[in-house]
Amino acid sequence: MLKSFRLFSLALALAATPLLPQTCFAQGVPGAAIPADAKEGVLEVADGQMLLDEIPFPVTAALQVRNQDNLLVSIYSLRGKFRVKARIDVAGTLHRIWILERLQ
């Protein structure tokens, strides 16, 4: 009984293997549109501080940052200035950020 369960589990894992690359890259949707109400500005990230057009914003758990390939990136991995489009939620915090380009 245990041997047949192991064989079944192995067969199932091997059958699902071709689906892994699709699952890993499903978060990036090339050509996904940035909403029209997203504000364009300059985001500066340094030392745990986040400034959008020189206005400080807190880093919240709900914040999503997407790069030029529309893949999610961690705000903690960013340093420097970026030209971005951003959506601000009703509470006045940044909700979504799309990085358009890195500024010098």
Domain limits for position 48 = 37-103
Provide the H-helix boundaries in the chain.
Answer: 2-16, 20-24
% pLDDT > 70, the chain: 69
82 close to 103: Cβ distance less than 8 angstroms: yes
Confirm whether 60 is domain-assigned.
yes
Claim: this prediction has a pTM higher than 0.85: no
- Express each pLDDT in 59-104 by its tens digit: 888 899 999 999 999 988 899 999 999 999 999 899 999 999 999 7
Please indicate, yes or no, if residue 18 is contained in any of the structural domains.
Answer: no
The number of helices, as runs of H, and strands, as runs of E, in the chain is 2, 7
Indicate the Cα dihedral angle 92, 98, 102, 103, nearest 10°. -40
Structural domain count, the chain: 1
Is residue 47 included in any domain, yes or no?
Answer: yes
Specify if 19 maps to a domain: no
